[in-house]
């Protein structure tokens, strides 16, 4: 795979808006989860909510796109000078040479939930409900395209929790094929009743903040988040501190609609493919950001897969105890968390977990561990066996 540079990036989660706010919490092992008080939801669980989303007003010309998901996207795009970087890339390459590849799971489904509360007597939805610009899975990419005036290839990936990891592969292939010169990739997923009650029906919601890889773990903490990355071709002589995308590995094991293969076969395939794509060996990886949802079956399967590929000496953790599970945005959010860990030279702890599951033979980090990270692997494994692993590196 052609090596790409992460030219600019930003994320917004329940930890805060932008890189600095998120790193401040991660570096001090603080979380952003709270008891669920979202909308009309009455469930004994914890969620991760991004502050300020309800206060965002979209540009008047794009008001038909107004929904929580697009407001979250807009809010995130204003952080860390990311919008300026995109505009600079457009000026350099042209709007038709910038690709846009975003991941989401439920898009603006909350807007439909709200519309159903306002149905007319004949059952018709309100006239101001715009399905195509809100609920439609492509709506977030359509909004970002319209916001920046992008005219290059554009798509949304919706493959559950692997969505915004897989978009890195879409961008890499497009750039390598010469169809574009740069790409905006990432993911946006916002809170809604469908995911909260849906995961509750699967008995997968934890009554306390999620405890990935912990003994007695009992479910996930649903959260929202947004992450964006501007990818470009890497320089032949990148400077120190440059962050690079070295490899992407994907697999589809289709073992079960909502449960992973018990031995993590699809996860193994994705990690091995990512390492092969990057041209590195397992012992060169210094940190693995685990998918680590804190459900009994997910962590058990991933733990076996990680052990099969890396053994038990590669430091790993799940940061979902801090951010919650941002679903379709998780791949992008956690890729940027890997970037920050590499830049600061800190292997991040998995918070909330106090006692590890003794059946999982991996080096799970319970306290932030200083030390250089040259290569990091980011795992994102979704429902239906849709798996993706990324290999990221930093130039020393």
Any idea which residues carry the catalytic annotation?
Answer: 161, 291, 325
What is the CA angle 48-52-55, rounded to 5? 140
Phi, psi of 266 (to 5 degrees): -65, -40
List all residues 6 or more positions away from 363 whose beta carbon is below 8 Å from its beta carbon: 312, 313, 314, 315, 316
- Enter the tokens of residue 28: 């001090």
Query: Environment class of residue 366 by beta-carbon count within 10 Å: exposed (0-12), middle (13-18) or buried (19+)?
Result: middle
Strands (E), the chain: 4-13, 16-17, 34-35, 46-47, 98-103, 154-157, 182-189, 225-233, 243-252, 287-289, 315-317, 346-347, 363-364, 369-370, 375-382, 386-394
Structure tokens at 361: 């033979």
Check residue 356 and report its DSSP letter. Answer: B
Q: Which residue has the tokens 């395209």?
A: 145
């Amino acid at each position: 795979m052609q090596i790409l540079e992460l030219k600019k990036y930003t994320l917004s989660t329940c930890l805060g808006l932008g890189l600095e706010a998120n790193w401040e919490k991660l570096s001090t092992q603080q979380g952003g989860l709270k008891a669920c008080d979202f909308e009309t939801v009455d469930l004994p669980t914890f969620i991760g909510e991004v502050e300020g989303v309800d206060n965002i007003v979209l540009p008047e010309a794009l008001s038909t796109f107004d929904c929580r998901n697009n407001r979250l996207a807009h809010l995130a795009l204003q952080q860390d000078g990311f919008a300026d970087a995109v505009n600079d890339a457009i000026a350099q390459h042209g709007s038709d040479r910038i690709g846009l590849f975003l991941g989401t799971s439920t898009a603006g489904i909350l807007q439909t939930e709200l519309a159903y509360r306002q149905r007319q007597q004949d059952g018709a939805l309100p006239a101001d409900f715009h399905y195509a610009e809100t609920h439609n899975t492509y709506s977030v990419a359509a909004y970002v395209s319209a916001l920046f005036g992008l005219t290059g290839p554009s798509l949304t990936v919706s493959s559950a929790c692997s969505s915004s990891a897989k978009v890195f592969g879409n961008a890499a292939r497009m750039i390598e094929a010469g169809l574009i010169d740069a790409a905006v990739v990432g993911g946006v997923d916002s809170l809604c009743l469908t995911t909260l009650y849906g995961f509750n029906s699967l008995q997968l919601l934890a009554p306390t903040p999620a405890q990935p890889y912990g003994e007695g773990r009992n479910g996930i903490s649903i959260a929202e988040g947004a992450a964006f990355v501007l990818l470009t071709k890497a320089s032949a002589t990148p400077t120190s501190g440059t962050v690079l995308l070295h490899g992407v590995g994907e697999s589809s094991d289709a073992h079960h609609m909502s449960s992973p293969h018990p031995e993590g076969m699809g996860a193994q395939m994705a990690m091995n493919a990512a390492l092969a794509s990057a041209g590195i060996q397992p012992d060169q990886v210094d940190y693995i950001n685990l998918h680590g949802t804190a459900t009994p079956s997910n962590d058990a399967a991933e733990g076996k897969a990680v052990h099969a590929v890396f053994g038990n000496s590669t430091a790993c953790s799940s940061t979902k105890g801090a951010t919650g599970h941002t679903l379709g945005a998780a791949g992008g959010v956690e890729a940027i968390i890997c970037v920050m860990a590499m830049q600061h030279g800190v292997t991040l702890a998995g918070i909330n977990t106090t006692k590890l599951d003794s059946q999982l033979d991996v080096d799970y980090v319970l306290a932030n561990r200083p030390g250089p990270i040259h290569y990091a692997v980011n795992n994102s494994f979704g429902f239906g066996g849709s798996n993706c692993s990324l290999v990221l590196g930093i130039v020393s």
